Structure 1
Amino acid sequence: MKLLPYSLSIFFFLFMFIGSSQTNYEESKVPAFAIPDPLLTFSGYTINSVKKWEKVRRPELLRFFENDIYGKIPKNLKIDSYTILEQDDHALNGKAKRKQVELTFKNNNKTLSYTILLYLPKNKVKAPIFLGYNFYGNHTITEDKAVLISSAWANNNKSFGIENNTLTEASRGKRTHRWAVEKILDAGYGLATIYYGEVDPDKNDFSDGIHSLLYQQGQNQPKPAEWGSIAAWSWGMARALDYFEKDADIDASKVIAFGHSRLGKTSLWAGATDKRFAGVISNNSGCGGAALSKRKFGETIAVINDRFPHWFCDNFNQYGDNEEALPVDQHQLLALIAPRPLYIASAEEDQWADPRGEFLSSHYATQVYHLYGKKGIETKEMPMLNDPIHNTVSYHIRTGKHDVTDYDWENYIKWANAFVK
């Protein structure tokens, strides 16, 4: 076989391995595609009632997302024990009750523990709560010196003073802007947060998180259809909910799953797989979260699986640069949360997460909410910036970047007051 000249070989390589996956940020370049009908079964049967949705369509969609996208949990693993590490009924200058609760799990001669930081309204019995993971430790969401620093592995971050994958006092309070703790408490809600790295460290290594407690003999990584990290983090949220059902200070029937970015993907999967969550918030969750995959806008399946191969199950790799082969899309994930309240939020500058794809996903999920007599996103016309749509399915796009802001929390609280609380 005749070899190409060196320059042509380089061009061919770039075209084959880079050019075909270049990021698209232009609506005119979004490919034509059909929206998979959430109310049409894989065998072509039309769903026209809540009963048929819950008995036929919802289970088959859930199975597909489990087998081919997020991965199945091998078996149920319950809390072995829980310990209140610290509590104070006069936290935050007397405004809140604070608890730090460690959940412990044991299996395969291994142990895993993670700590829930709870702030609860001081004078409220059975408080509804927002539950969400944080990225760099519970101590980063507050200046509160009593909040314990995790010893779990963390991604290095020079601006947070994190070196050698170790969390320290230097990062205390670095993410207070993302957690409107006082606004949440003033509205009568509690806040529960967990450092996600305690459940499963965010790296392509399945040896030191929850996965290893459920391996079969000789296994050292999940099988192709078994859980990636997003499913593991979702599992951790569900186990926190198990604890809340035992805590007399918490109304476990009104726990709202919240998440930002990869943890927004997590909150969606947690809400889809555990109907006990009273509502779900996805903040800037993008590809593999709220955004439609078939649009191939911003981050794509190929890119996310290349950069973060541990997030999804291995079966998801077959759809990289092959979104047209997917028999589902992310609006059907959102539909699995029906009829419970759902809030999808985007940011104008966060084109990587495809705000329009997140909005359209909310719209196309709405027809399942209609089965239950609920309103959602009734139009395909995106709202103006900072002009939220508040229904059982809610949406806003705000000015700014990929982040969580007070504006987001103000809207989440308003929505929760109307549709959850």
Structure 2
Amino acid sequence: MSGRFLSLLFFATALHAGELADPLVANDGTKIATAAQWRDHRRPELIELFTREMYGRNPGRPEKMIFEVFDRDTKALEGKATRIQIALFPGGKPGPRIDLLVYVPSGVQAPVPAILGLNFWGNHAIHKDPGIRLTESWIEGRTSYADLTGVRDHKATDAARGVNANHWPVEEIISRGYALATMYREDVAADHEPYFGSGVHPLFPQLQQGDDNFSTIGAWAWSLSRALDALEKEPLIDSKRVAVFGFSRLGKAALWAGASDERFAMVLSNESGAGGAKLFHRGVGESIERLTTVFPHWYARSFKKYAGKDKELPFDQHLVISLVAPRPVYVGSAQEDTYADAEGEFAAAKAAEPVFRLLGAEGLPADTWPAVGVSVQGGIGYHVRPGKHDVLPFDWQQYLLFGDKHLKPR
């Protein structure tokens, strides 16, 4: 019996069952009982499943990719940090450029752990530091999360510096002994029409031909791996202790990046919701129908066939979380974020627990949905805080505590 037939049989069975797929039962029915079986059998088929059915193919590390450090200021932020800016050229020069901004705590005696994440409105928006290069990429004109009056005709001006600093507590992060690295999402891939018309997508036209096309969230996740490639060359960064972070749609990308690239030491998913950390099977919050209609570029075209079938989906996001194991993962939720379904995010994290335990890691130390404002932290961490869809100081406090537990020497 062919592997393809078994895969199709798996899909048909799961669609009719209406139940969550067991992360420790392979497509051919094999029960996964050892770490070796997970590594050699179950993990590869799950990576292939999500690549084919949801996130799309990616080009891997391009042979022509180059990195250029164009700024290194050892006295940045009034002497608190070394600022490093690196231009990533995935297709070589000339070609699309992605700017990677890095802050490293001053006076470090050894390579430090780092937190890496994409940002929404440009590197210059995370801090007022005048040394940050203004993005040349397109910027949306309005949002409730930042004052975009400094954006003119979708281009950044100096007045846009620091407008999203509330999401990025740079000084606090570096004071805790972490480096911070970030890139702008639109440097990587267009989140506006024409989709796939700017950023890295034009470099890889062959990856748009099938239903498992190189999606926008796939590209964002892929770019985080390329940023890690660059950080591996920076002697001030311990590249084996890099956490990947993301909020909202960028949290979806961070989760897939951490699941698919095992070099990331930790994953921090902040209100990533549908297509991120929440379960579709609950039928609560944002649906596949809405995702694939309002944001048709986010996922591969193959994902659209599941629209209207959230509760019958033959896979779900607990399997993505399980792919992070045994590395630590934290899922942050917000009480009023109904689209993201906070309880569904908890349920997905809990459903991934058997894989963490199989691989010798801690699970999620809560059997029921925690009270609002309570953080539970094992190998899997979780909280639901008061408030709406956002990144708040409470979120960062928990992520840094989780990092202290898992990324720092004991």
Normalised by the length of structure 2, the TM-score is: 0.91
- Of 207, 214, 226, which aligns to 2:204? 214
Residue 79 of structure 1 and its aligned partner are, at CA, apart by 5.6
Residue 325 of structure 1 and its aligned partner are, at CA, apart by 3.8
Partner in structure 2 of residue 281 of structure 1: 268
For the 8 Å contact 1:222–1:228, the answer to whether it is kept is no
- Of 391, 395, 398, which aligns to 2:382? 395
> Can you give the 5+ residue segments of structure 2 that lack an aligned partner in the other structure?
1-16
Cα separation, 2, equivalents of 1:76 and 1:130? 21
For the 8 Å contact 1:87–1:97, the answer to whether it is kept is yes
- More displaced 10-residue stretch of structure 1: 279-288 or 43-52: 43-52
Residue 71 of structure 1 and its aligned partner are, at CA, apart by 0.4
- Of 176, 187, 199, which aligns to 1:187? 176
* Partner SS, residue 100 of structure 1: strand
Cα separation, 2, equivalents of 1:76 and 1:248? 21
With over 3 angstroms needed to count, the CA separation of the structure-2 counterparts of 1:88 and 1:74, relative to structure 1, is closer
Partner in structure 1 of residue 8 of structure 2: none
Partner in structure 1 of residue 55 of structure 2: 70
Look up the equivalent residue of 1:172 and give its one-letter code. R
Cα separation, 2, equivalents of 1:401 and 1:168? 29
Partner in structure 2 of residue 358 of structure 1: 345
Cα separation, 1, equivalents of 2:325 and 2:384? 22
Partner in structure 2 of residue 139 of structure 1: 124
With over 3 angstroms needed to count, the CA separation of the structure-2 counterparts of 1:382 and 1:376, relative to structure 1, is same
Cα separation, 2, equivalents of 1:392 and 1:243? 27
Cα separation, 2, equivalents of 1:325 and 1:74? 31
Look up the equivalent residue of 1:391 and give its one-letter code. G
Residue 110 of structure 1 and its aligned partner are, at CA, apart by 6.5
1:115 lines up with 2:105 in the alignment: no
Q: What is the correspondence of 1:99-178 to structure 2 with a 5 Å cutoff?
A: 99-106=84-91, 111-124=95-108, 125-157=110-142, 159-161=147-149, 162-178=151-167
- More displaced 10-residue stretch of structure 1: 46-55 or 66-75: 66-75
Look up the equivalent residue of 2:44 and give its one-letter code. P
Residue 178 of structure 1 and its aligned partner are, at CA, apart by 0.7
- Number of matched pairs: 386
1:255 lines up with 2:242 in the alignment: yes
- More displaced 10-residue stretch of structure 1: 157-166 or 237-246: 157-166
Post-superposition Cα deviations, 1:248-292, rounded to whole Å, max 9, x if no partner, equal: 111100010000000000001101111000000000000000000
Look up the equivalent residue of 1:39 and give its one-letter code. L
Normalised by the length of structure 1, the TM-score is: 0.88
Post-superposition Cα deviations, 1:169-213, rounded to whole Å, max 9, x if no partner, equal: 222111111111111111100000101100112124112121211
* Partner SS, residue 259 of structure 1: strand
* Partner SS, residue 232 of structure 1: helix
1:53 lines up with 2:43 in the alignment: no
* Partner SS, residue 295 of structure 1: coil
* Identical columns (%): 38
* Partner SS, residue 111 of structure 1: coil
Look up the equivalent residue of 2:55 and give its one-letter code. Y
- Of 63, 75, 98, which aligns to 2:83? 98
* Partner SS, residue 212 of structure 1: helix
Cα separation, 1, equivalents of 2:365 and 2:77? 41
* Partner SS, residue 282 of structure 1: strand
Look up the equivalent residue of 1:198 and give its one-letter code. D
For the 8 Å contact 2:370–2:384, the answer to whether it is kept is yes
Look up the equivalent residue of 1:208 and give its one-letter code. S
Post-superposition Cα deviations, 1:134-187, rounded to whole Å, max 9, x if no partner, equal: 100011111111111100112222741224221222221111111111111111
For the 8 Å contact 2:280–2:287, the answer to whether it is kept is yes
* Partner SS, residue 269 of structure 1: helix
* Partner SS, residue 270 of structure 1: helix
Partner in structure 1 of residue 362 of structure 2: 375
For the 8 Å contact 1:75–1:214, the answer to whether it is kept is no
Look up the equivalent residue of 2:388 and give its one-letter code. K
> Can you give the 5+ residue segments of structure 1 that lack an aligned partner in the other structure?
1-31
Residue 405 of structure 1 and its aligned partner are, at CA, apart by 1.3
Q: What is the correspondence of 1:17-36 to structure 2 with a 5 Å cutoff?
A: 33-36=18-21
**CA-atom RMSD, angstroms?**
1.6
Cα separation, 1, equivalents of 2:366 and 2:210? 41
Post-superposition Cα deviations, 1:76-135, rounded to whole Å, max 9, x if no partner, equal: 41463222222211111111111111111227x971111111110111131110000110
Partner in structure 2 of residue 298 of structure 1: 285
Look up the equivalent residue of 2:36 and give its one-letter code. K
